[in-house]
A and B are shown apart, each in its own frame.
Chain A
Amino acid sequence: MNLAARLKPLNTPLTLVAAVLVVAVLTQLLGVSLLTRIVTVMFVSLMVVLGLQLYMGNSGILNFAHIGFMGIGAYTAVLFSMTSEAKVLTNADLYPFLVQLHLPFLPSLLIGGLVAALVAAVISYPLMRLSDAAAVITTFALLVIIHVVLLHWDRVTNGPRTLFGVDNYTSLWTSLVFAVVTIFAVYLFKESRIGLRLRATRDDHYAAASIGINMVVMRWLAFIASAFIAGVGGGLWAHFITSFTPYSFYLAETFVVLAMLVIGGPYSVSGAVVGTLVVTAAREVLRGIENQVNILQLFPQGFFGFTEVVLAIVLILILVYRPTGIMGSRELRWPRRRGHAELAQPAEPEA
């Protein structure tokens, strides 16, 4: 098989990666530091959204706890990557054994992901057999639990206080690489046997069970993979923002990530990518408008929250008028197929 033929089934992820690369290269060339920051965060968000797509798109179940695992990954990664001095400086109460830990950046990220995945594995297994409605509600409860733990386990997370002093390891290209890897990973999962089986359960529980698909295990594996991605994404984000609190991993962020996925289209990997790009761009524009209005002091008490309101309204409009998102359930391909005529097929005779 020549190279072209081997790459054909990977058309979609390659197309998506190409798009993302173009954005990265342009950003690098333009050299505007604000833009570079926005795009770096966007790539990290992309990773997190892709992680959510892996679970939600294939299982059909809304997962409110996703950002919680991002938080677990973030806190774990920094506990490993920061030097002992830096850690003690920000959190005097840190458990001694945690102070001693130190690993380079990449291993720290991976451990962050693994811890998130481990927590996910343990807590979520019993939840996977619940009905769809109950499953969603329990993920909400999970998010709250994770938040409360992060908020009050002072000796690990510094509680509600800011954890600062994290090294800024996440550059434009670092986040790009991770985003690219994630695109491939999530796409391959989707096309893998697990992904296929999981989608079968999404469409029809009973039919899937009747052919021997174990819905509980499939969901569980997807949940773990999803949490791992979120965890690594959290670590990446922590090393970009360099200081954060547990409030960074709660409802506001959940909303943004959910909006990115749903607006783009939760049933395809392309949807996650398109959604992240579109929503990031939209948010920056809206934020720009907010800032202008504030500079011009048009509102005495300040003009805040405009971005979120518009985003939420768009989200509702999408749910009403185009529930499968911008991408529908389709994946991006390049070149775009015209109709479905392939050279080998005979043309349909005119009736």
Chain B
Amino acid sequence: MINLEFITNTLSLGSLYAMLALGLVIVYGILRLVNFAYGELIMVGGYTMYLLTFYTPLPWLAVVVLAVLAAMVISLLTEQVAFRPVREKSLTAMLITSFAVSTILQNGALLIISPRARAVTLPQIFQTSVMIAGTSVPWRNILTIVTCIVTLVLLTLLLRRTVLGIALRAAADNFTMTRMLGVPANTVISTAFAISGIMAGIVSIFWIARSASVTPTIGLPPLLVAFVATVIGGMRSLTGAVVGGFVYATIISLLGVVLPPGLVEFREAFMFAFVIIILLFRPEGLIRSKTSVERVG
């Protein structure tokens, strides 16, 4: 039923998915690369939280910050070590590389930590709820929404007020032209990967908060979500990614309510079929952007 609980759940899910999509699009916009290793960055965040909460007495706030940093660092590492040498080759080579990097990270976790799920001790706040207008709303949802808003504001400030941010947006429009203005390609791409890692780190906090455990394969579902949300949003713009995240959350939540029991497990298949249809007929995404219209004359 569509009530306040449904709305807050969907909003919270949408916030999560929007941040997810942002992290994927920021690299795609510049390199046209769907980074299959993106999901693994969330895994990295999760394992960092596990290791820190298990082996150290650090407070939760420190754990969270370090998890985000870890994801960012690993993202930058993958860019420098794996993606940079292949960048000059072809897009196909980059895609295969991202697949390989994903495999390395996943199996790296298997190797270094364990194939079995590891529990992450969450702070008390993730277990509690607050009463709003007669409905019990988990704090987790509120935190997700607030974090999303804060992240979006900070990201917007970065992209609009700093030269680096302007360069990033320009690179998404036309990478070669950006280089011809003297902007170093490596700086732009590294920044994009760093932001991608930060977003993955932030998402990992709330993703783990839902299951309280981390496994080596935890990165796949969020990758698929990011992928769909990005396509819905048009793959080219960051605003599109955010809207795509919310749209996806809404659709999947509605499908969960509306579809009969025999079909509801196929939600994901429907979403991906939807993705293919969008790519076929409206690759610029469902969101009309005002800059895609050009006056003549």
A309 touching B99, Cβ below 8 Å: no
Chain B residue contacts of A133, Cβ below 8 A:
32, 91
A138 touching B107, Cβ below 8 Å: no
A319 touching B280, Cβ below 8 Å: no
Q: Which residue of B lies closest to A313 (CB)?
A: B104
Q: Is A144 in contact with chain B by the CB < 8 A criterion? A: yes
Known: A138-B276, A148-B269, A315-B96. A305 touches B108 (CB 8 A): yes
Alpha-carbon gap, A126 to B277, bound state (A): 10
Q: Is A132 in contact with chain B by the CB < 8 A criterion? A: yes
Chain B residue contacts of A316, Cβ below 8 A:
82, 86, 97, 100-101
A240 to chain B, nearest CB (A): 24
Selected from B34, B101, B110, the residue in CB contact (under 8 A) with A304 is: B110
Chain A residues within CB distance 8 Å of chain B: 60-62, 126-127, 130, 132-134, 136-138, 140-142, 144-145, 148-149, 151-152, 251, 255, 258-259, 262, 301-306, 308-309, 311-313, 315-316, 319-320, 323
Task: Given contact pairs A133-B32, A141-B273, A312-B107, enumerate 9 new A-B contacts (beta carbons under 8 Å).
Answer: A62-B92, A127-B276, A130-B280, A144-B268, A148-B269, A304-B115, A305-B115, A306-B107, A319-B89
Chain A residue contacts of B82, Cβ below 8 A:
316
Known: A145-B269, A148-B268, A309-B104. A319 touches B279 (CB 8 A): no
Chain B residue contacts of A319, Cβ below 8 A:
86, 89, 93, 96-97, 100
Within 8 A of A (CB), among B260-291: 265-266, 268-269, 272-273, 275-276, 279-280, 283
Q: Which residue of B lies closest to A306 (CB)?
A: B111
Alpha-carbon gap, A251 to B159, bound state (A): 35
Q: Is B137 in contact with chain A by the CB < 8 A criterion? A: no
A149 touching B104, Cβ below 8 Å: no
Chain A residue contacts of B275, Cβ below 8 A:
138, 141
A323 touching B89, Cβ below 8 Å: yes
A312 touching B95, Cβ below 8 Å: no
Within 8 A of A (CB), among B208-237: 216, 220, 224, 227, 231
Chain A residue contacts of B110, Cβ below 8 A:
304-305
Alpha-carbon gap, A62 to B92, bound state (A): 7
A and B contact pairs by CB, cutoff 8 A, 9 listed: A62-B95, A145-B269, A145-B276, A149-B266, A255-B99, A309-B104, A309-B108, A312-B101, A319-B100
Q: Which residue of A lies closest to B88 (CB)?
A: A320
Chain B residues within CB distance 8 Å of chain A: 32, 34, 82, 85-86, 89-93, 95-97, 99-101, 103-104, 106-111, 113-115, 216, 220, 224, 227, 231, 265-266, 268-269, 272-273, 275-276, 279-280, 283
Chain B residue contacts of A313, Cβ below 8 A:
100, 104
Q: Which residue of B lies closest to A153 (CB)?
A: B266
Chain B residue contacts of A149, Cβ below 8 A:
266, 269
Interface of A (DSSP majority class):
helix
Q: Which residue of B lies closest to A250 (CB)?
A: B220
Chain A residue contacts of B273, Cβ below 8 A:
141, 145
Known: A144-B224, A316-B101. A136 touches B92 (CB 8 A): yes
B264 to chain A, nearest CB (A): 9
Alpha-carbon gap, A60 to B276, bound state (A): 20
Alpha-carbon gap, A301 to B50, bound state (A): 15
Selected from A61, A62, A140, A308, the residue in CB contact (under 8 A) with B107 is: A308
B280 to chain A, nearest CB (A): 6
Most A CB contacts (10 A, CB to CB) among B92, B100, B108, B113 go to: B100
Selected from B93, B113, B115, B227, the residue in CB contact (under 8 A) with A323 is: B93
A142 touching B111, Cβ below 8 Å: no
Chain A residue contacts of B104, Cβ below 8 A:
308-309, 312-313
Known: A148-B266, A152-B266. A309 touches B111 (CB 8 A): yes
Chain A residue contacts of B95, Cβ below 8 A:
62, 136
B201 to chain A, nearest CB (A): 23
A12 to chain B, nearest CB (A): 25
Chain B residue contacts of A255, Cβ below 8 A:
99-100, 103
A140 touching B34, Cβ below 8 Å: yes
Known: A134-B279, A255-B103, A319-B89. A141 touches B111 (CB 8 A): no
Alpha-carbon gap, A127 to B266, bound state (A): 22
Alpha-carbon gap, A60 to B92, bound state (A): 9
Alpha-carbon gap, A134 to B276, bound state (A): 9
Known: A133-B32, A309-B107, A316-B86. A302 touches B115 (CB 8 A): yes
B86 touching A127, Cβ below 8 Å: no
Q: Which residue of A lies closest to B110 (CB)?
A: A305
B128 to chain A, nearest CB (A): 33
Chain A residue contacts of B115, Cβ below 8 A:
302, 304-305
A138 touching B111, Cβ below 8 Å: no
Alpha-carbon gap, A208 to B104, bound state (A): 39
Chain B residue contacts of A258, Cβ below 8 A:
96, 99
Alpha-carbon gap, A61 to B90, bound state (A): 12
Chain A residue contacts of B280, Cβ below 8 A:
126-127, 130, 138
Alpha-carbon gap, A277 to B231, bound state (A): 38
Known: A130-B279, A255-B99, A315-B96. A305 touches B272 (CB 8 A): no
